[in-house]
Amino acid sequence: DADVTQTPRNRITKTGKRIMLECSQTKGHDRMYWYRQDPGLGLQLIYYSFDVKDINKGEISDGYSVSRQAQAKFSLSLESAIPNQTALYFCATSDHRDRGGETQYFGPGTRLLVL
């Protein structure tokens, strides 16, 4: 969905490097999420943010940190990348006012390879 963009789309890095994945949205949503997807494991929640001042850990936050720079921007950092962080990373947004049940809107994903 072009309303949710992620940069970079692909990244190769080495063990121990710090990297940042960025997410921007033009949907005007207040809630943003970071997930990782591994084959056979489905989507796992890393961090979520309900507004700029509210950041919460998800199921698998160890080794990751986030920053909500503005309502439209939510970045994910790997402080010291390790090979088992190789995965497909997705950013998603939702609107708490969505009476349809808070549909999540996903970005196109960032494919990360840690060597």
Partner 1 sequence: SQKIEQNSEALNIQEGKTATLTCNYTNYSPAYLQWYRQDPGRGPVFLLLIRENEKEKRKERLKVTFDTTLKQSLFHITASQPADSATYLCALISGTYKYIFGTGTRLKVLA
100 binds partner 1 (CB under 8 A): yes
Look-up of token digits 């720079």: 69
**107 belongs to the binding site for partner 1 (CB under 8 A):** yes
Side chain identity at 49, as an amino acid letter?
Answer: S
Task: Please say which residue, 48 or 64, places its beta carbon nearer to partner 1.
Answer: 48
Q: Is 31 in the site for partner 1 (CB under 8 A)?
A: yes
Beta bridge partners of 112: 11, 87
- Distance CA(48)–CA(62), nearest Å, equals 14
The site for partner 1 (CB under 8 A) is made up of 1, 4, 31, 33, 35, 40-43, 45, 48, 50, 56, 90, 92, 100-109, 111
